[in-house]
Amino acid sequence: MPGLAVIIVGDDPASRVYVNNKKKACAEIGVYSEEHALPHETTEEELLALIRELNGRKEISGILCQLPLPKHISEETILLAIDPKKDVDAFHPVNVGKIMIGDYDFLPCTPAGVMELIKESGIDPKGKECVVIGRSNIVGKPQAMLLLHAHGTVTICHSKTENLKEVTKRADILVAAVGKANFVTADMVKEGAVVIDVGMNRNAEGKLCGDVDFEGVKDKCAAITPVPGGVGPMTIAMLMKNTVKAALL
């Protein structure tokens, strides 16, 4: 049976929601899961000791350490300690490198979920202008690589991009991974574009919303993902896929 160990350090409310959803998905599909909830004061050494123990346990096929970690713990050190064969987030540098060359065991869950949504909607990125807004290690950079593997012509935009609107308006496929509510407005989107919203923000009223002004953009594009209920569930589905795969490695 596949087994997933989920580590959460501290009490970030968003991380708590994500971790609960991941555990629920495991229960739904019959994957064993265990949660390691550690206090904010946990030291890097204590967290490393837990990861080493989980690396050595046969019934644990996947290990996930929910990010962000408290400031006194180095994410780089922690991600490097996870056995690459159990790295179901695909955050270990070995797995990141394997993705670059297109020979991988795991794909990072959110970008893989976006690719699955595109494919299942009958959209082929081949030869298309694909624009990713955001350059994080978790989403933006690997997303660009997966679109490139699918033969898209890929541009990555970020906070220093000049004439952002001119670039995003070229996109046949636009992926927003910015982390700012309503950042992508209708004037930034080409008529008939496919718009994928990776954002998970709270607006002024505390309501969950994405990076895209959904109401303003929806009538202009060929397809759009909502928040919540778009990319989020796909991330979880891809995590389940990676966990099952890890058990077979």
Catalytic residues: 22, 66, 89
Angle CA 91–92–98, to nearest 5: 95
Can you tell me which of 89, 129, 211, 213 binds ligand GUN, judged by CB under 6 A? Answer: 89
Query: Is there a contact between 113 and 235 (Cβ–Cβ < 8 Å)?
Result: yes
**Binding-site size, ligand GUN (CB under 6 A):** 9
* Residue span binding ligand GUN (CB under 6 A) among the ranges 24-32, 61-69, 93-101, 218-226: 61-69
The answer to whether residues 175 and 198 touch, using CB atoms and an 8 Å cutoff, is yes
- CB nearer to ligand GUN: give 112 or 217: 112
What minimum distance in Å lies between the beta carbon of 187 and ligand GUN? 29
DSSP states of 95-111 as a string?
A: HHHHHHHT--S---HHH
Burial class (CB in 10 A: 0-12, 13-18, 19+), 189: buried
* Token code pair at residue 62: 């996947």
The 136-165 contact track toward ligand GUN, x by CB under 6 A, reads: --x---------------------------
Residue 114 φ then ψ, to 5°: -65, -45
Under the binding rule (CB under 6 A), the answer on residue 33 touching ligand GUN is no
Q: If binding is defined by CB under 6 A, does position 237 make contact with ligand GUN? A: no
Q: Which stretch binds ligand GUN (CB under 6 A): 45-53, 63-71, 145-153, 211-219?
A: 63-71
Question: In this structure, are strands 208-209 and 201-202 parallel, antiparallel, or unpaired?
Answer: antiparallel
The one among 8, 109, 117, 194 contacting ligand GUN by CB under 6 A: 109
Binding site for ligand GUN (CB under 6 A): 64-67, 89, 109-110, 138, 235
